[in-house]
Amino acid sequence: KAGVTQTPRYLIKTRGQQVTLSCSPISGHRSVSWYQQTPGQGLQFLFEYFSETQRNKGNFPGRFSGRQFSNSRSEMNVSTLELGDSALYLCASSNWPYKGQPNTEAFFGQGTRLTVV
């Protein structure tokens, strides 16, 4: 079974630009969540999608948005990039709502390393 795939692995963007990151979850998983990882703030929850609907959203500005497609693939977009957006962006998929397996974990991709210059 293929794991969670995130593309691209690395990105360098200029301040003010926008960027789109992609995440393909494990086959059969319909829940995808996104996290921003920085040395100063650690891992912070961005948002979660299930069946093309945003279920939860973290405390990030509106420049951060996302969506999910009918095949469960998800994209996140950051507009008007700032230097502080430089981070590792991780995507996680799970088979929530679990259906009899309530304690399953989230499976993570290898992340996209975004550098804003």
Footprint of other proteins on this chain (CB under 8 A)?
31-33, 35, 42-43, 45, 48, 50, 55-56, 88, 90, 92-94, 96-97, 102-103, 105-111, 113
Residue 88, classified by CB atoms within 10 Å of its CB into exposed (0-12), middle (13-18) or buried (19+), is: middle
Of the pair 28, 102, the CB lying nearest other proteins is at 102
Do strands 10-13 and 112-116 pair parallel, antiparallel, or not at all (unpaired)? parallel
Bridge partner residues of 26 (DSSP): none
- For residue 102, the minimal CB distance to other proteins (Å) is 7
- For residue 80, the minimal CB distance to other proteins (Å) is 26
Which token pair is 95?
């088979």
